[in-house]
Amino acid sequence: MDVDLRKLRYFVAVADELHFGRAAESLHITQPVLSRQIRALEDELKARLFLRDKRGTALTPAGAQLLTDARPLLANADALRRRVGRAARGSDRFTVGFMPGLVVSAAIRVLAARYPSLTVDVVRTGWYDQTDVVHDGRVDVSFVRLPVDQRGLQVRPLLAEPRVAVLPVDHRLARERSIGIADLADEHLVQDPDAVPEWRDIATELRTGQRRPTPAVRTVEEKFEHVAAGAGVLVLPSSVADFYTRRDLTSVLIDDIGPNHVCLAWDASRRSPLILEFAAIAEEHHRVFQAT
């Protein structure tokens, strides 16, 4: 049996909303059409996917299993479409991903000067998708900050930069020229502890099992807002802290932990001479990737 990807997309939309009307609106189709497509999918799979009553819509166990399997299947289909499209376009377009705080324009200018007919695009990435954009074909290369899962990637080191603590300006450590990571042991970290293993290993709230709930934040800007509000502290590469200078925040060097490493990453299965040439350019101009 072949599963229709369009029906799967409709199913995921309903599963996300748990409301046929809102899902139909997000898909830009009518609710009767959506209901018919879901019924057709249930008929094909010989399983009921949703329970609908006066209280609302809920997934059945079969629906929950399908949702788990459907997301990666749709993501792979999207990645396939992008890779095929990239191959069809040939070598007239090159896309570069970059993390906050990194300035990559110098390397791009060199590449553009060598290939005047080449269109070079840029994509701003984050901690949660900096390698996803490589795997799914959204970018040809990406400037990433370690640590990342390097499986399936070719990774070339470029530079290392110190890490700093981002603090409210009225914090007890705000006037220090530098601190040690132990000075932050009693603080709350407004980020994943695994991103700062040196803090994780000594943190009082982790050792005592009393870590406060951390808000669901994904962007640097959101994290800064929580720090400014006094909810905790951040440990970041110095270029990121410099790039997002704010009057209500300050950054202090942490002098006893290792630096953050910046690398160029690309799909290890690709053999594009253009990627290798850009990697050489990036190595040559690694100093320009510091924040302005």
Beta bridge partners of 179: 254
Domain ranges for the chain, please list them.
Answer: 5-83, 91-160+260-289, 163-254
pLDDT of residue 85: 63
Q: How far, CA to CA in Å, does 225 sit from each of 110, 169, 230, 234, 264?
A: 37, 13, 9, 11, 29
Give the distance, in angstroms, between the CA of residue 149 and the centroid of all CA atoms in the same chain: 12
In angstroms, the CA 265 to CA 180 distance is 31
Low-confidence ranges of the chain (pLDDT < 50): 288-292
How confident is the model over 26-41, as pLDDT tens digits?
Answer: 898 999 999 999 999 9
Alpha carbon separation from 238 to 80, 220, 252, 286 (Å, rounded)? 37, 13, 9, 16
- In the block, tokens 């990807």 appear at 5
CA-based angle 290:132:240, to the nearest 5? 25
Q: CATH number for the 5-83 domain, one of 1.20.1630.10, 3.40.250.10, 1.10.357.10, 1.10.10.10?
A: 1.10.10.10
* CATH topology identical between 91-160+260-289 and 163-254: yes
pLDDT of residue 291: 41
pLDDT at 139: 93
- pLDDT of 88: 60
Q: What are phi and psi of 169, to 5 degrees?
A: -65, -20
DSSP, collapsed to helix, strand or coil, labels residue 160 as strand
Structurally, at CATH architecture level, domain 163-254 sits in 3-Layer(aba) Sandwich (3.40)
Q: Strand pairing partners for 167?
A: 250
Amino acid 115: pLDDT = 94
CATH dotted code for 91-160+260-289 = 3.40.190.10
Taking the CA atoms of 40, 45, 49 and 53 in sequence, report the sign of the dihedral they define: positive
What pLDDT is stored for residue 243 in this prediction?
87
> DSSP string of 207-275?
HTT-PPPPP---SHHHHHHHHHTTS-BEEEEHHHHHHT--TTEEEEEETTSPPEEEEEEEETT---HHH
**Cα atoms found within 13 Å of the Cα of residue 71, Cβ hemisphere only:** 8
Q: In one letter, which amino acid is 170?
A: D
Residue for token digits 């502890």?
193
Mean pLDDT over all residues of the chain? 89
Which tokens hold the place of 80?
């396939």
